């Protein structure tokens, strides 16, 4: 009985500590995106519900949840219903290895990066399930596009991480952050940093690589047949993955929770605030890219992934590995 009680309490605390803050972050991310895009396009953003539209995400969420759930007549109902649940579950599960400060992580194990990208690869299956089970040609084509795009750019994304592994010698997020006490990795790995950010845009199906959700051709892509709760879960998973990739980029290249080296005083601000500000920086970049760049064609998207980013990332891995092996040999020779 005590085991069951501990399990229930653990689930409740996990929900309060992880799921609830993440849902709030996604909700106000959408408000921030709409306000920033409105400012870029010189128009009014949400400004009716609450002060400067502060409560707009809450009303939008309530509206979506109260809508009627429509099941396509010829859909595979079981897979159709389970797909958004699995997608949202994977998006939440990826956060348990993300440290926001010293010791503030649910599960700190040595293969955290591999865990993150293993869950990311599983997300391809849920997208295919959603597109196929809808029994709609638009949803199926959007699912195929998304799967091909995510698989293509996961290769480059994984190769870029080898350069981080070469420098830090670890796949543990906390260890990588601690290795950036004196210098953040975006300085020595600046080309890798750029490749990582651009491939993260493609991996999360964001503009200018939002071909799976192209409104002009596919209406909404693989989730076109979903409404109410199903659409909400896909929406939450997509924006949660954007924040996740921003957090991973902040950990790998901007020193995680470490304060900026030139800022004073150091100890008056909690380290988690520094981490949150770095995540906000990448989230803002995601939004600005959406506001200023046109969409790629699909053949351009694939050519960029396989013929540009993959050879470049492989070349940089070989270069950095050779450079640091030579440097270590020189240091040993001098000693």
Closest among 80, 78, 207 to 139, alpha carbons compared:
80
Nearest residue to 55 via CA among 81, 90, 83, 30: 30
Interatomic CA distance for residues 330 and 122, integer angstroms? 43
pLDDT tens for each residue of 37-52: 888 888 888 888 877 7
Residue 290: the pLDDT is 87
Phi/psi class of residue 169: alpha, beta or left (left: φ > 0; alpha: ψ in -120 to 50)? left
Compute the C-alpha angle 114/282/260, nearest 5°: 95
pLDDT per residue as tens digits for the range 192-246: 999 999 999 888 888 888 776 666 555 667 888 888 888 888 888 889 999 999 9
Which band of pLDDT confidence, cut at 50, 70 and 90, is reported for residue 248? very high
More confident residue, 6 or 237: 237
Pull the structure tokens for residue 229: 């709760």
Sign of dihedral through CA atoms 287, 288, 293, 296? negative
Domain boundaries, the chain: 1-66, 68-334
pLDDT for residue 262:
56
13, pLDDT greater than 80:
no
Phi, psi of 149 (to 5 degrees): -70, -45
The 10s digit of each residue's pLDDT in 24-40 is 888 888 888 888 988 88
pLDDT over 70 (residue 79): yes
Taking 80 as the threshold, does the pLDDT of residue 284 lie above it? yes
**pLDDT at residue 114 greater than cutoff 80:** yes
DSSP 29-64: HHHHHHHHHHHHTTS--S-SSSGGGTTHHHHHHHHH
Q: Determine if the pTM surpasses 0.95.
A: no
Taking 80 as the threshold, does the pLDDT of residue 314 lie above it? yes
pLDDT range class, residue 283, cuts 50, 70, 90? very high
pLDDT, residue 212, reads 67
């Amino acid at each position: 009985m005590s085991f069951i009680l501990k399990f229930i309490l653990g689930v409740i605390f996990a929900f309060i500590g992880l799921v609830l803050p993440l849902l709030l972050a996604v909700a106000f991310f959408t408000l921030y995106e709409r306000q920033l895009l409105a400012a870029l396009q010189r128009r009014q953003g949400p400004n009716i519900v609450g002060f400067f539209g502060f409560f707009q995400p809450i009303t939008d969420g309530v509206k979506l949840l109260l809508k009627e759930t429509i099941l396509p007549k010829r859909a595979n109902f079981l897979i159709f219903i389970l797909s958004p649940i699995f997608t949202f579950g994977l998006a939440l599960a990826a956060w348990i290895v993300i440290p926001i400060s010293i010791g503030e992580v649910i599960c700190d194990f040595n293969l955290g990066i591999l865990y993150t990208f293993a869950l990311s690869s599983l997300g391809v299956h849920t997208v295919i399930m959603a597109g196929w089970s809808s029994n709609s040609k638009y949803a199926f084509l959007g699912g195929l596009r998304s799967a091909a795009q995510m698989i293509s750019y996961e290769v480059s994304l994984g190769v870029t991480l080898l350069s981080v592994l070469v420098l830090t010698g670890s796949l543990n997020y906390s260890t990588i952050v601690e290795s950036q006490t004196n210098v953040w990795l975006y300085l020595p790995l600046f080309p890798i940093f750029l490749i990582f950010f651009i491939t993260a845009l493609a991996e999360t199906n964001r503009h200018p690589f939002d071909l799976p959700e192209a409104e002009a051709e596919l209406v909404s892509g693989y989730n076109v047949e979903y409404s109410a709760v199903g659409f909400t879960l896909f929406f939450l998973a997509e924006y949660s993955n954007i924040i996740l990739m921003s957090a991973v980029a902040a950990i790998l290249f901007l020193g995680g929770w470490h304060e900026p080296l030139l800022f004073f005083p150091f100890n008056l601000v909690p380290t988690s605030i520094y981490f949150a500000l770095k995540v906000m920086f990448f989230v803002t970049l995601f939004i600005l890219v959406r506001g200023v760049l046109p969409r790629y064609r699909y053949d351009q998207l694939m050519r960029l992934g396989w013929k540009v980013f993959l050879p470049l990332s492989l070349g940089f891995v070989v270069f950095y590995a050779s450079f640091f092996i030579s440097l270590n040999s020189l240091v040993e020779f001098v000693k």
